[in-house]
């Protein structure tokens, strides 16, 4: 499916360069007129709340407020403070612009207020396509799924991703790829989801190295954004397994960065499950350049090309946390193609911690 170049409206999803200019119409269509605009705390490049406010005021619409407050893992105190401001400014809908962190805050506010939520994603997290929300309180991340959490409209405008640093593109893109990989062997997978997943994985495997080579490559960024959308659909409709559960444990318990953790764990989690899913491994290998029929080789080659860090140690995980992470991972109950074997899981985490390639 080629969505490049033109504005394609898939009912709830709008693609294309300058599609952000359709924001005022989209807000009106959803019955709103005065949105709260959410962005991430810190530097956001072109994912800019003031730019959105100008588009709205040019269309004679007044934003209720701009809140530059979102941080990773959706801490409840941040949400509660934003909720007070949203009410004080009488916002009648929510617009989130940026990565998964700001989409998370938008979801948390929308599910608490019932207000419509429009997302303008500028990373490849895929969160905008899922009814899943993970919130953190007192150092614990609790995830829930509810159809009410699913955003009401998504605008994918490649122009707004151009300032996302190439390294962030690489980590975020592998995060998206992981959604699709797990959907290939999910307990509720289907031929349709597998098709979307393989298209998404292939798109990212081709586009991400091109972005790392030339961060101004607009068509590669467009391809990556489209592929990430497909991967987000996969996450939104499939059960997750070892990979996502492990990343959840590591991120939540040891405060490791989200997309980076997904990137490091992915080849190891796939290697663990490989003996139980030979057909899936063949399919996965078929969309990974240079794999020569071996999906793990294909993933290792991709990560080398992306020049990403391969070790959890580099992000602050301590060696003594390996046993603790193994225990938490073993205590979780979920469907996975291969049974959870304590020694093998511990070795998986150790290799990821040390930065040894998957095998």
Among 4, 21, 33, 163, binds ligand NAD (CB under 6 A): 163
Residues 6 or more apart in contact with residue 182 via CB below 8 angstroms: 234, 235, 238, 240, 241, 243, 244
Residue in the structure block whose two tokens are 């860090």: 309
Among 63, 100, 151, 298, binds ligand NAD (CB under 6 A): 100
Q: According to the binding rule CB under 6 A, does residue 263 interact with ligand NAD?
A: no
Cβ(157)–Cβ(16) below 8 Å? yes
Among 3, 96, 125, 280, binds ligand NAD (CB under 6 A): 125
Residue closer to ligand NAD by CB (options 248, 310) is 248
Contact pattern from residue 223 through residue 262 relative to ligand NAD, giving x for each residue in contact according to CB under 6 A and a dash for the rest: ------------x----------------------xx---
Among 12, 29, 42, 344, binds ligand NAD (CB under 6 A): 42
Among 26, 79, 127, 300, binds ligand NAD (CB under 6 A): 127
Q: According to the binding rule CB under 6 A, does residue 75 interact with ligand NAD?
A: no
Q: According to the binding rule CB under 6 A, does residue 134 interact with ligand NAD?
A: yes
The residue range among 93-101, 108-116, 198-206, 280-288 that interacts with ligand NAD, by the rule CB under 6 A, is 93-101
Among 66, 160, 303, 306, binds ligand NAD (CB under 6 A): 160
Residue closer to ligand NAD by CB (options 47, 197) is 47
Q: According to the binding rule CB under 6 A, does residue 203 interact with ligand NAD?
A: no
Nearest to 12 by CA among 226, 160, 155: 155
Report in angstroms how near the CB of residue 150 gets to ligand NAD at its nearest. 10
Q: According to the binding rule CB under 6 A, does residue 126 interact with ligand NAD?
A: yes
Buried b (16+ CB within 10 A) or exposed e, 55-72: ebeeeebebbbbbbbbeb
Among 4, 33, 34, 46, binds ligand NAD (CB under 6 A): 46
Report in angstroms how near the CB of residue 126 gets to ligand NAD at its nearest. 5
Report in angstroms how near the CB of residue 168 gets to ligand NAD at its nearest. 5
How many other CB atoms are found less than 10 A from the CB of residue 143?
A: 13
Contact pattern from residue 173 through residue 202 relative to ligand NAD, giving x for each residue in contact according to CB under 6 A and a dash for the rest: --x---------------------------
Instruction: Tell me how far the alpha carbon of residue 133 is from its chain's centroid.
Output: 12
Nearest to 89 by CA among 62, 129, 69: 62
Residue closer to ligand NAD by CB (options 165, 275) is 165
The residue range among 86-94, 96-104, 210-218, 281-289 that interacts with ligand NAD, by the rule CB under 6 A, is 96-104
Residue closer to ligand NAD by CB (options 92, 260) is 260
Q: According to the binding rule CB under 6 A, does residue 72 interact with ligand NAD?
A: yes
Among 32, 75, 104, 203, binds ligand NAD (CB under 6 A): 104
Cβ(357)–Cβ(300) below 8 Å? yes
**Where on the chain is the footprint of ligand NAD (CB under 6 A)?**
40, 42, 44-47, 72-74, 98-102, 104, 122-123, 125-127, 130, 132-134, 160-161, 163-164, 168, 172, 175, 235, 258-259
């Amino acid at each position: 499916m080629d969505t490049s170049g033109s504005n394609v409206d898939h009912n709830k999803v709008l693609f294309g360069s300058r599609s952000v200019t359709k924001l005022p119409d989209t807000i009106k269509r959803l019955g709103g007129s005065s949105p709260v605009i959410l962005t991430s705390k810190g530097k956001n490049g072109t994912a800019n709340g003031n730019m959105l406010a100008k588009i709205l005021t040019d269309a004679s619409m007044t934003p209720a407020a701009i809140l530059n407050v979102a941080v990773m893992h959706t801490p409840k105190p941040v949400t509660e403070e934003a909720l007070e401001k949203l009410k004080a400014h009488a916002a009648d809908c929510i617009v989130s612009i940026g990565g998964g962190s700001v989409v998370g805050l938008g979801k948390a506010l929308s599910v608490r207020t019932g207000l419509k939520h429009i997302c303008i994603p500028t990373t490849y997290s895929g969160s905008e396509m899922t009814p899943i929300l993970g919130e953190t309180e007192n150092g614990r991340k609790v995830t829930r799924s509810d159809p009410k959490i699913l955003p009401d409209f998504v605008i994918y405008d490649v122009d707004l991703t151009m300032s996302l640093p190439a390294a962030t593109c690489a980590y975020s893109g592998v995060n998206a790829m992981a959604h699709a990989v797990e959907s290939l062997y999910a307990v509720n997978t289907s031929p349709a989801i597998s098709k979307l997943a393989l298209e998404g994985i292939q798109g990212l495997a081709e586009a991400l190295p091109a972005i790392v080579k030339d961060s101004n490559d607009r068509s590669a960024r467009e391809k990556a954004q489209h592929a990430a959308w497909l991967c987000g659909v996969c996450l939104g409709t499939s059960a997750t397994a070892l990979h996502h559960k492990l990343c959840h444990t590591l991120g939540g318990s040891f405060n490791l960065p989200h997309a980076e953790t997904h990137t490091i764990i992915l080849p190891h989690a796939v290697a663990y499950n490989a003996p139980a899913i030979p057909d899936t491994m063949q399919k996965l290998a078929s969309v990974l350049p240079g794999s020569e029929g071996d999906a793990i080789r294909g993933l290792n080659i991709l990560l080398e090309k992306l020049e990403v860090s391969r070790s959890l140690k580099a992000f602050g995980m301590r060696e003594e946390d390996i046993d603790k992470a193994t225990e938490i991972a073993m205590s979780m109950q979920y469907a996975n193609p291969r049974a959870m074997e304590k020694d093998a899981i511990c070795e998986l985490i150790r290799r990821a911690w040390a930065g040894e390639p998957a095998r």
